[in-house]
Structure 1
Amino acid sequence: MNNDNTEVAFSTEALTRVYGEGSAAVHALRGIDLIIPSGEFVVLLGPSGSGKSTLLNILGGLDKPSAGQVRFFYQNLNEMDDAALTLYRRDHIGFVFQFYNLMPSLTAQENVELVTEIAESPISPEEALALVGLDQRMDHFPSQLSGGEQQRVAIARAVAKQPRVLLCDEPTGALDSESGRQVMEVLQQVNQQLGTTVVIITHAATIASMADRVIHFADGQIRETVLNSEKCSARDLVW
């Protein structure tokens, strides 16, 4: 658990996101006040449509709030134009989604190289793939890998640029329980060994037991934040 002297990776104040206008308006976020300390493993829980993905997209610079403030360490994301947000995503944020988005014509190593070629201070594709336990599968194409292995390649691609934050939207949603555990082990390892702040959206409530901080969403609002004094290992998760 982080202490009061820990840097804050993300903070938001009265964060609101509205899509559309008038009677057709959808209030995806309704005044979110949030702090995510640097280095934490954070889980966002809540039903579909509760605002989790909207928040993740704003934190990742993929979307902009309708009102309110969002800060990344000492930077105000509200003040960034599209070009600055592109650099922000490139240099600081790693994304992992439910579907792996790998290039089918490229090997695992080549998929990771797509990121390392444009990153500011990347680790090598070989090192990134070794980190996720795929150093023996670098020359395989996505079609030759299981779903869990493809997701681990996607994680290697995300961490190869050494982002300060890894944002994950349902990273185990398309996987069986054993593959899901392996993916969560990798994410826990990235958090613990590299000190990367990890924020995960999931419907699997069991994953909350391995988090530092669990944030419960409903109807575009934070209903509760729970701090875990003891965390379980990903290997011990029961699905």
Structure 2
Amino acid sequence: MAFAIPLVSSYTIMAQALQGLRQAVKSMTVLNLIVPLGVILGVVSISAETALEASFAYLISCILASVVAIYWWISNSPRSRTRSYYSSKVLAESCIPLWGAAILSQVINWSAQLIIGISGTSQEVAIFATAQRTSMLTSLVLVAVNAIAAPKFASMFSNDDMSGLQRVAIWSTRLMFVAAIPALGIMIFFSSWLMALFGPEFREGGVVFNCFSWWSVCKCCFWICWIFAYYDRSRKRA
């Protein structure tokens, strides 16, 4: 799995570049479709029975995603005969806060499982992790809307169109809320049944699953606060 780390980094960066070029479909294909689909096809085709075989399928899928991402980025990036230079200082100032937010997000996602692993049993860790990951299905709404809205946010911010940015942000939040409500209803009323799909012993994780479902919907509704805080800070620095 360690060999896949640079590959995941490369295709993630290329996916964000495609998103900046307003190629949302290609960006989402690289970021969320090629690797999972490749792993499923690889595991089924070779009838993987060990972790090593599954890891090999994952590595091949990451290589494929990186190749496709680089090809799409080269073919869709604009051609220019004149060279333009971008200040590395400006790039660092904008990336460091995002880097910190990414690290904090990973800490939040994994710290609870590590703490439970220290004080609890392996079964409790499995139930907790399954409830957490399954509830993240509602976050797909956030990912889908963000893939379309993020380039518009960046364009409006560069043009100092804060009123337009606010309008798009409000409508994006409303869209996410409306889209997430049906999924939330299913997860709340059928939480025990959904958890039981992973095994009868997972049924007791229904309460934890409900809590994580509410938290995922809250992220969809309040993510705009973080965006405006970040843009406001950037304007003050400028």
TM bucket normalised to smaller: under 0.3
Q: Which has the higher contact order (CA 8 A, sep 6+)?
A: 1
Structure with greater proportional strand content = 1
Larger of the two Rg values belongs to structure: 2
Structure with greater proportional helix content = 2
Q: TM-score, normalised by structure 1?
A: 0.23
Q: TM-score, normalised by structure 2?
A: 0.23
